[in-house]
Structure 1
Amino acid sequence: MRRLKREDVCYENARPRVLIGTDNWQLIVSRKLLTGKRHEPAASLTRLGWVIHGLAPSRVIRDSDTVLYVDSKGRAERSTKLLDDELHSMVKEYFEIDSLGIVKKARENPDETRAIESFKSTVKNVDKRYKVGLPWRKEDISMPPSYDQARRRLLAIENKMDKSVEFKERYTAQMNNMFEKGYAEESQDNELESPKLWYLPHFAVINVNKPGKLRLVFDAAAKSNGVCLNDALLEGPDMLRDLAGILFRFRERAVAVTADIREMFLQVKIVEEDQPAQMFLWRGDDRTSPPKSYKMTSMIFGAKSSPFLAHSVRDHNAAKHAIEFPRAHEAITMNHYMDDWVDCFDTEQEAICVIKDVVHVHAQAGFTLTAFNSNRPNVLRELPLESRATAPKQLGTSADQHGRTLGLIWDAESDELSFNTVLVRVPQEVKTLERTPTKREALSAVMSIFDPLGLLSYYTIRAKIIIQRVWRLQTNWDEELPDELANEFRTWLSGVESLRSLRLSRLYAHTGGVTRKQLHVFCDASECAYATAIYWLVEYEDGSKRVILTAAKARVAPIKTQTIPRLELQACLIGARLATTIIREHRWQPHRVVYWTDSRTVLHWINNDRVRYPPYVAHRLNEISELTEPEQWKWVPTRDNVADDATRIVNDVKCKDDRWFIGPSFLYENEDSWPSLNVIDDCDIGRHDDIVLNVTNVEWSVPDAGRFSKHERLVRAMAYVLLFIDKCLRRANEMSMTHIRKAEEWLVKRAQSETFGEDIERLRRGQNLKMSSRIRKLDPFIDEDGVLRARGRTRAAGVSAPDTTPVILDGSHPYARLLCNREHRRAHHSHNERVVNDIRQRYWILRLRPAVRAVAYKCAFCRMRKTKPVRPITGDLPRARLEAFTRPFSNCGLDYFGPMTVTVGRRHEKRWGALFTCLTTRAVHIEIVSSLSTDSAIMALRRMGARRGWPQVMYSDNATNFRGADKELREAVTEWEPSLRDYALTQRIEWLYISPGAPHQGGAWERMIRSVKSALRVTLNEKAPRDEVLHTLLVEVEHTMNARPLTHVPVSADDPEALTPNHFLVGGSHGLPITGPCETATKKTWRVAQALADEYWRRWLKEYLPELIPRRGARDVNEAAIKPGDLVIVADHTLPRNVWPRGVVTQVHPGPDGGVRNVEVRTKGGVFRRPASRLAVLPME
């Protein structure tokens, strides 16, 4: 570069300062190039100056970690995301503040209740210092590994410290301060095994308004393995007092006091078992040794539960001392905002006494009040010098992670409030009007003005209107504003600096000699915005008055255009809400509340409760009537309505003596001269609408056939169109058959023009149809009415013209489908050929049969009449049918059959049979019951259990679905269910019921009952046998059924006999043979018996079990499974099909194989559980 002329370069002993990325390529495009020898650096001239290219000198390379992760997003994209997150946080915070006083707080949710219960169960005071547990979302919490992420973040902090000695000293000092004060300590080895172990990254936050102060923050939102500490914690309810309420009360009395709690969060200790969740890494200046593990014993900055826990400890401690120090309790719970105390008093002595009490109460929790400030020097003299503030107090401040500080500024010496309008997040070149702001920068500027009471609403509303107009343009975040909006925004931004000089009195009014206090609420709206402004009117004994702005709110009108009266009503609503908040939060109570609006329409709405208004108006009027009384509302001319100032675009900054701050002039006069308005009549309320005419050219001005469900409705709609035309031309006043006939003619011609338009045009011009025409073979022609007809070859048949020249239509056109639907209904939903024949009398419709079939398929009545229930694929057998090597009757099915008549003496009595069947071996056991009482059912179960062994699982029909026709049997079983369940539990029996209306699910015992009934019809010759005869027959039937073969009967004498249930019960199909005295040892006999039993079960597995594999009656093709929301018909074979109930499926219950077996259906009679096989799905289209 020595070859360059001196004027081309002015660098001397210079070092590179900026690294330019390729995303700013236009800055580094080379305009001139200088090269040297090989391996020597080169230089290029760019718009930024000379740039050096080449290899950098070698440096000592430190050990580094290898990160196996590649981020495909560019740095610009990541930077944009950070800006978006920052802006989103700012907008959220802004609208939360903007909604103070006019939006109701959300109700407490279950998570917040659990957080409160967790606090109450863990809080304790140890040596004037509170300990609390972290509110975990789950009790058995187990955190994933997080060491690696914390180590990477520590290396990044250390790298930053190595680059800045000042930052390193301040960061290390803060860390050492935590160790010295006991906020943190080195962890123990046993704590590293805790399931709650979590390492927190830490970083520094520097407040731009306090550059000398650095705060350590622990990042509880940092994720490791997709989880962060905040995910595992409950946030708890919002314990902050209403900021607007604190500021309201701060302006009531003469002596003002503010203070801060020093390091409030760090004074709250965390219980020992939760401290492992607050681990962090640190190694000071040593970069060679591994980092050590430390734990925070105090509550950290950064956890989402910390604000809730800190405020709960503060209020809990105040409540413990409420009886001894009631005024201090009120000051702590009502006038503390975060760690700030903001309060006021009537006298200096009262202020000093309360300060001492508050300091004492806070000391019992380890809290120390500092930074005291007051507008009365005598109050400060009573406090230690080190406890006093050194700068003006910023009220309601909030310093977030980006260092933005927002707040009202209170100058104690002058006792005045001012506004912080520094706009720290807006680039300097934008604030100085040197560059056009982007959408992002404009929104950031608007959101940066902190005005919780809305005292600057008249000025900030203009910026909101500009932002809304930018939103409508849908520009990108980083795109500059259009010229027109940019100029308006510059004008607004230039006035922001003037707001800094605005000073308002903190004190509403001196309270000495006050006779009456009134609250006056002004409401107004325009096309751009709606607003409310509220004033205190204080009257004194000498007749003087003082009016001062208390609060105001202004909002832009919705993007969707609303009428002015509706916007005026919305303004009145927020005015009523804000006034209610002011009355609730003030210690002052007004003697009178007056609401002012210049909208006569809204006044009429509020004072008229006889009219039924639209929902939008009615909902808002209902809330206004709950908050106010109609006689409180007054009319004010627009020129005297101060709320109007916040609905217009105002360019100038108002001084403190403007009417916006001191109210309208008429409030200072006698009430007799205040504006008034007589009773409003309905005729006085005019409606001013803008008339918009939209002209559209359409080819046809007739109804669309695709929007009608019936042909008759379509024709009648078209007939009304023709009648309207006739009325306009004064040709007819009532509908006649002529209108109906012309309507059908118009609809036919429209359908033909849409489907055969080219053919019609060729016929009108006298040309032949194309060979590809679909209607060429019909010899079409156009009649005198312009309708396309088919001439055909049957003119000589001697019948009328309409029969031989039918109208031509396309079967796919909606009008043709409506015709088919009409004829389908006229034919009483009969066969399709009947409908085809009827249509052919007047119309020739192409593809007529497919059209008729499509209409019939979509006909709801036909679907209901012909639909069939769903046939789910046969389900898998339950485990009870497949358990081998189990005792017979371990898994049972139970059903009743009967009644049967028996003779007892000279009378006849009824008996019923209780059939128990083993679901595994298919054995049966029959008991006779003499009545349908619960006791008889339980005794039958006891007899069966005593003889066969107690079952483990018992299946039975649902109480309302017994196959027997006896009504009293079904009613009795319904009463048994509770008692049988209780008795079954005492015997350790699991009792299961099949679904209602699903007898096929009980096929295992239904088939057995059928066999029993068949055997009784053959063997029972008497009509009413004696009890003993019936009992004997049933026992023989039981033996016969247990001797039936389960497997194929052998044909060869050498093959083993077929397996029967008796093999498992008595050892053979008809029992064991009779043998003589036992000569072998008992142990050997037992082994033989056991071997026989095992042999029977092996045969059961090899011969019987394979027979159960095929699915009986399985479908060839799986039908679509029933799903929630399906419209179904519930098949009930006891009723005619036309009265089967319809319903909607609300829930499905799949079986073990995943197939839907049972569903819950909602009908007009309620919600019922039914099997899927009883439901027929109706089409929804």
Structure 2
Amino acid sequence: MDEVRDTRDQLIQLLKEGGFNLRKWSSNERQLLEDLPEHMISPVSLTFTEASASKTLGLAWNPKQDEFIFSTTLKNKTESETNNKSSKRQILSDISTIFDPLGLLSPITIKAKILFQQIWKYKIEWDDTVPDEIEKEWRTLKTELTNMQPFKINRWLGLRANKNCELHAFCDASEKAFSCVVYSKITEGKQQQIALVAAKTKVAPIQKHQTLPRLELCGAHLLAQLVNKIKLCFDKPNIKVTAWTDSMIVLGWLKGDVSRWKAYVGHRVQEIISVVPAGSWKHVRSEQNPADCASRGLLPSQLHNFPLWFNGPEWLNSETIPETHDTIKMPEIELKRVHAVTLQTTENKNINFVTELLNKNSCIMTIIRIVAWVSRFITITSQGRRHGEDAAMDHPNMNDPAASKQCNLTLSDIRCATNIIIKHVQNEYYEQEIHELKTKGRISKNIGLQKLYPYLDKNNILRVGGRLQNSNLPEETKHPAIIPKTANWRIF
């Protein structure tokens, strides 16, 4: 109690320095209020009657029982109002009277969310009346909300420093929404205390329809986000978390290899298991899954008689959690499509492919066409795997699949093949000179080649330099490729 008083006094003094005077103090412990001036105490906190409740951020809190009280301010319509149809604006206003930041009444609020999402499909203006089928469903829900008996939920979870605490989270999805709910389990000796901590729901997107397994995965993703926030609030990063889902497909995704799944599934699985490891996920039967009602919705009268939501499944309150022995099969859906290409080549270490062509053929165009077709085949089978300047030069159609699959050779194919042949010949006869040009920028030994002022172009082909560089002649005429005269390359 002394520690709480010190915290209270420090908070009062700290805010007072900024010009904020804290008033209307409420507490479930009378001693904490006894030494405060009367003008700083909330009147309802002094009476502690059964009906006494203090508004805290829109929530009603009974300090005597230390419990939250949920109710609505909706009133029954008069006879004249009953005959008038509701507008989209009025329905949203009525739905907003339920303030539930922790999602403790999610089965009720999701029903209202789903209904309002249906209204958006009609694309009506804010003050337009809703269609008859929506009006009928809304009147049923509004009557239930108006006559709703207050829900009372304990504020304190029973969490203490010396008690063992673990979290149990459940998720589910329907075609209209997905949800998750988290319970705390406090163990002291052989006694267990289960408490509803928080829940969260979202309506399924209507713009882009998703399959039910994907929505189930979205529920698991929502669970991971909520669990992460709760762990931060509890200031217990290593608290034990057990997650439950009734979807065997989702379990298969979570326990499988992330790299196997398509991007939509793989990204979410990666984020989920970073918060709740795959080994902490278990299967729960649908009838024992409390998140099921939050994905479909319940009327207030139905939720009052639904202990599964407030207390979780019965076995959660037992000393040991029953083990599940369901066989998890790897899902055959959402698999990543893999294109496998097998390229088999043979290599003759004694005779190079181009050399053999030059020795067996006397027509340069025949050789060029053969090299062009082989080059195109290599381009298609290894497309997307090569990088670098040389690759871009050798295969100009690398990034153009349409051009690569044409039935006829293109001009770029012919140029590419010609460059390959010329580079092969030059590398065979001028290997040392080309290396010197690349490393030193000049040739030191070959006097005959020095007279040609040789240089390497952007494609690493050895060309003649000289004074013609400023002329208007074509590049290949001004700077022809250097072909060794000592070789038997008559075809050039």
Question: What band does the TM-score fall into relative to the shorter chain?
Answer: 0.5 to 0.7
Counting only pairs closer than 5 Å after superposition, residues 589-988 of structure 1 correspond to structure 2 as 591-609=239-257, 612-653=260-301, 654-655=303-304, 658-671=307-320, 674=322, 676-682=324-330, 685=331
Q: In the alignment, is residue 538 of structure 1 matched against residue 186 of structure 2?
A: yes
Q: CA offsets, 1:898-926, max 9 Å, x none?
A: xxxxxxxxxxxxxxxxxxxxxxxxxxxxx
Task: State how far apart, in whole Å, the 2-side matches of 1:536 and 1:827 are.
Answer: 71
1:529 aligned partner: 177
Q: In the alignment, is residue 413 of structure 1 matched against residue 64 of structure 2?
A: yes
1:655 maps to amino acid: H
Counting only pairs closer than 5 Å after superposition, residues 1046-1085 of structure 1 correspond to structure 2 as none
Counting only pairs closer than 5 Å after superposition, residues 309-320 of structure 1 correspond to structure 2 as none
Counting only pairs closer than 5 Å after superposition, residues 181-220 of structure 1 correspond to structure 2 as none
1:638 maps to amino acid: S
Q: In the alignment, is residue 547 of structure 1 matched against residue 198 of structure 2?
A: no
The alpha carbon displacement at 1:614 in A equals 1.3
Task: State how far apart, in whole Å, the 1-side matches of 2:264 and 2:89 are.
Answer: 34
2:136 maps to amino acid: N
Counterparts in 2 of 1:613 and 1:510: CA distance versus 1, 3 Å: closer
Q: In the alignment, is residue 438 of structure 1 matched against residue 91 of structure 2?
A: no
Displaced runs of 4 or more, over 6 A: 825-829
Counterparts in 2 of 1:623 and 1:827: CA distance versus 1, 3 Å: closer
Decide whether the 8 Å contact of 1:520 with 1:535 is kept in 2.
yes
Counting only pairs closer than 5 Å after superposition, residues 372-451 of structure 1 correspond to structure 2 as 372-391=25-44, 392-396=53-57, 407-419=58-70, 421-422=72-73, 433-451=82-100
Q: CA offsets, 1:439-473, max 9 Å, x none?
A: 22222222342211111111111111111222222
SS of structure 2 residue aligned to 1:578: helix
SS of structure 2 residue aligned to 1:631: helix
Q: In the alignment, is residue 556 of structure 1 matched against residue 218 of structure 2?
A: no
Q: In the alignment, is residue 355 of structure 1 matched against residue 8 of structure 2?
A: yes
Decide whether the 8 Å contact of 2:74 with 2:145 is kept in 1.
no
Counterparts in 2 of 1:676 and 1:428: CA distance versus 1, 3 Å: same
Counterparts in 2 of 1:459 and 1:540: CA distance versus 1, 3 Å: same
Aligned residue pairs, count:
342
Decide whether the 8 Å contact of 1:436 with 1:480 is kept in 2.
yes
Identity of aligned residues (%): 31
Task: State how far apart, in whole Å, the 2-side matches of 1:431 and 1:675 are.
Answer: 59
The alpha carbon displacement at 1:374 in A equals 1.1
2:475 maps to amino acid: L
SS of structure 1 residue aligned to 2:64: coil
1:565 aligned partner: 213
Task: State how far apart, in whole Å, the 2-side matches of 1:649 and 1:423 are.
Answer: 20
Task: State how far apart, in whole Å, the 2-side matches of 1:633 and 1:494 are.
Answer: 40
Decide whether the 8 Å contact of 2:258 with 2:266 is kept in 1.
no
Counterparts in 2 of 1:483 and 1:384: CA distance versus 1, 3 Å: same
Task: State how far apart, in whole Å, the 2-side matches of 1:1136 and 1:454 are.
Answer: 76
**Where is the strand percentage greater, Structure 1 or Structure 2?**
1
Decide whether the 8 Å contact of 2:286 with 2:292 is kept in 1.
yes
Task: State how far apart, in whole Å, the 1-side matches of 2:237 and 2:69 are.
Answer: 26
Q: CA offsets, 1:132-152, max 9 Å, x none?
A: xxxxxxxxxxxxxxxxxxxxx
Decide whether the 8 Å contact of 1:516 with 1:591 is kept in 2.
no
The alpha carbon displacement at 1:420 in A equals 5.2
Q: CA offsets, 1:693-718, max 9 Å, x none?
A: xxxxxxxxxxxxxxxxxxxxxxxxxx
Q: CA offsets, 1:922-968, max 9 Å, x none?
A: xxxxxxxxxxxxxxxxxxxxxxxxxxxxxxxxxxxxxxxxxxx879x
Task: State how far apart, in whole Å, the 2-side matches of 1:828 and 1:594 are.
Answer: 62
Decide whether the 8 Å contact of 1:504 with 1:656 is kept in 2.
no
Q: CA offsets, 1:251-306, max 9 Å, x none?
A: xxxxxxxxxxxxxxxxxxxxxxxxxxxxxxxxxxxxxxxxxxxxxxxxxxxxxxxx
Decide whether the 8 Å contact of 2:283 with 2:326 is kept in 1.
no
1:353 maps to amino acid: D
SS of structure 2 residue aligned to 1:545: strand
2:338 aligned partner: none
Decide whether the 8 Å contact of 2:192 with 2:319 is kept in 1.
no
**TM-score with structure 2 length normalisation?**
0.62
Pick one of 1118, 1135, 1140 that aligns with 2:475: 1135
1:408 maps to amino acid: L
Task: State how far apart, in whole Å, the 1-side matches of 2:104 and 2:86 are.
Answer: 26
Task: State how far apart, in whole Å, the 2-side matches of 1:686 and 1:432 are.
Answer: 55
Decide whether the 8 Å contact of 1:517 with 1:589 is kept in 2.
no
Q: CA offsets, 1:78-118, max 9 Å, x none?
A: xxxxxxxxxxxxxxxxxxxxxxxxxxxxxxxxxxxxxxxxx
Q: In the alignment, is residue 503 of structure 1 matched against residue 152 of structure 2?
A: yes
1:370 aligned partner: 23
Task: State how far apart, in whole Å, the 2-side matches of 1:420 and 1:652 are.
Answer: 10
Counterparts in 2 of 1:395 and 1:488: CA distance versus 1, 3 Å: same
Decide whether the 8 Å contact of 2:259 with 2:266 is kept in 1.
no
1:632 maps to amino acid: S
1:410 maps to amino acid: W
Q: CA offsets, 1:339-366, max 9 Å, x none?
A: xxxxxxxxx3322222222223333334
1:581 aligned partner: 229
Q: CA offsets, 1:1013-1071, max 9 Å, x none?
A: xxxxxxxxxxxxxxxxxxxxxxxxxxxxxxxxxxxxxxxxxxxxxxxxxxxxxxxxxxx
Decide whether the 8 Å contact of 1:526 with 1:647 is kept in 2.
yes
> What is the Cα-based RMSD across aligned positions, in Å?
3.5
SS of structure 2 residue aligned to 1:372: coil
Decide whether the 8 Å contact of 1:529 with 1:555 is kept in 2.
yes
Q: In the alignment, is residue 474 of structure 1 matched against residue 127 of structure 2?
A: no
Decide whether the 8 Å contact of 1:519 with 1:594 is kept in 2.
yes
Task: State how far apart, in whole Å, the 2-side matches of 1:665 and 1:594 are.
Answer: 16
Task: State how far apart, in whole Å, the 1-side matches of 2:313 and 2:215 are.
Answer: 22
The alpha carbon displacement at 1:433 in A equals 4.6
Counterparts in 2 of 1:500 and 1:589: CA distance versus 1, 3 Å: farther
Decide whether the 8 Å contact of 2:28 with 2:63 is kept in 1.
yes
Q: CA offsets, 1:1071-1124, max 9 Å, x none?
A: xxxxxxxxxxxxxxxxxxxxxxxxxxxxxxxxxxxxxxxxxxxxxxxxxxxxxx
Counterparts in 2 of 1:675 and 1:460: CA distance versus 1, 3 Å: farther
Task: State how far apart, in whole Å, the 2-side matches of 1:638 and 1:562 are.
Answer: 21
Task: State how far apart, in whole Å, the 2-side matches of 1:432 and 1:414 are.
Answer: 38
Decide whether the 8 Å contact of 1:525 with 1:564 is kept in 2.
yes
2:2 maps to amino acid: Q
Task: State how far apart, in whole Å, the 1-side matches of 2:258 and 2:264 are.
Answer: 17
1:371 maps to amino acid: K
Decide whether the 8 Å contact of 2:74 with 2:146 is kept in 1.
no
Q: CA offsets, 1:816-841, max 9 Å, x none?
A: xxxxxxxxx99999xxxxxxxxxxxx
The runs of 5 or more residues in structure 2 that have no matched partner are 45-52, 334-406, 412-465, 478-492
SS of structure 2 residue aligned to 1:443: helix
**Where is the helix percentage greater, Structure 1 or Structure 2?**
2
Counterparts in 2 of 1:384 and 1:615: CA distance versus 1, 3 Å: same
The alpha carbon displacement at 1:608 in A equals 0.6
SS of structure 2 residue aligned to 1:580: helix
